[in-house]
Amino acid sequence: MALVFDLVGHEDLANAIALNSTQFQLARVLGPVFAGVGFRLFGLAGCFFANGLSFAAVVIGLAMVRFDRPEKAGAAPDRSLRDKRAFIQDLTEGFRYVATRPRVSMLLMISAVTSLFGAPYLSMSPVFARDIFHLGETGLAVLMGTAGAGALFGALFLAYLGDFRHKGWFVLGGDLGFALCLMCFSLSTLLPVSLIFLFALGFAIVCSVAVTNTLLQKLVKDEMRGRVMSMFMLSFIGAMPIGNLIAGAASHRFGVQHTLAVGGLIIAVFVSIVALRRPDLRDL
């Protein structure tokens, strides 16, 4: 993620992140469709084998990336990855930097809370497809593809807006919209209604996460960007398995629907409190 800034610069950063989200979400739409067809034709092992081969295109694409980054006066020299002291020192400096930037730390906190209590809907989708809507593998692909389609339209919407104002409201509003749609989806037993809420929550979460990405890259210093974006990935992706573990344990006791609904409620309450108490985020 930090490489995007070096490739496009400050002015085109918002559009670049939106386009990056677009291609990622397009894969979310097409992936379940191909997986449903591939599962019937080649089985589960064949799907995983094809998925593994697809990463070769990613590696080749990254190897072809070239950019010229001018050296800045006074910039810290590159240090070896084998230098454990340098690694610990850089890590500590990164945490200190985030701790002294309230807006940056709060954006990371929003990302972590959203992922912790909201991301389990992805791992719970097979349960909804099987037990709530009584669908097979193709039905699961429809559920996942609908959420991906909403996310794709959200990314295209951000690309259309470009570098707009009031990004803080987009982060908070998108997160709140995601939470409300998650609650409605989890409690719905009608497939058409649930698909509408899936589409809407996909749209909302991409608006929030992509704009958070843009704000973080613009708020931090160049020498700290890589470390802060690593923390962003840790807060969003790293919280997912913890959230899945908590949601899995809770669903055995309270049921899948109530578990996801409570997760959405926690996100909605948290974001509402942040929106009311943090005008510095609203004004971003």
Would residue 138 count as lying in a domain?
yes
> What's the half-sphere exposure (Cβ side, CA atoms, 13 Å) at 139?
15
Would residue 176 count as lying in a domain?
yes
DSSP string, 29-60: HHHHHHHHHHHHHHHHHHHHHHHHHHHHHHHH
pLDDT at 74 > cutoff 60: no
Across the range 146-168, mean pLDDT stands at 81
Of 3, 240, 228, 13, nearest in space to 104 by CA: 228
pLDDT digits (tens, 9 = 90+) for 14-34: 667 767 766 666 676 677 667
Tally of CB atoms within 10 A around 228: 23
Would residue 38 count as lying in a domain?
yes
H-state helical runs in the chain: 2-8, 13-63, 84-99, 102-118, 120-127, 137-161, 167-187, 191-219, 225-237, 239-254, 256-277, 279-282
pLDDT for 51: 81
pLDDT for 87: 67
Domain that holds residue 265: 2-66+98-282
CA distance 148 to 125: 13
On whether the CB atoms of residues 229 and 237 are closer than 8 A, the answer is no
Would residue 211 count as lying in a domain?
yes
CA distance 196 to 201: 9
Would residue 190 count as lying in a domain?
yes
pLDDT band at 8 (very low <50, low <70, confident <90, very high): low
- Two structure tokens written together for 253: 């006791």
pTM score, whole prediction: 0.78
pLDDT for 129: 86
CA distance 105 to 216: 10
Would residue 151 count as lying in a domain?
yes
pLDDT for 178: 93
DSSP string, 198-236: HHHHHHHHHHHHHHHHHHHHHHS-GGGHHHHHHHHHHHH
Would residue 33 count as lying in a domain?
yes
CA distance 72 to 112: 33
**Average pLDDT in the chain:** 81
More confident residue, 259 or 223: 259
pLDDT for 133: 85
Tally of CB atoms within 10 A around 282: 15
Residue 201, domain CATH: 1.20.1250.20
The share of the chain scoring above pLDDT 70, in percent, equals 82
The number of domains in the chain is: 1
Would residue 82 count as lying in a domain?
no
pLDDT digits (tens, 9 = 90+) for 187-234: 988 989 999 999 999 899 888 888 888 888 888 887 787 788 888 888
Q: Give me the phi and psi of 247, to 5 degrees please.
A: -65, -35
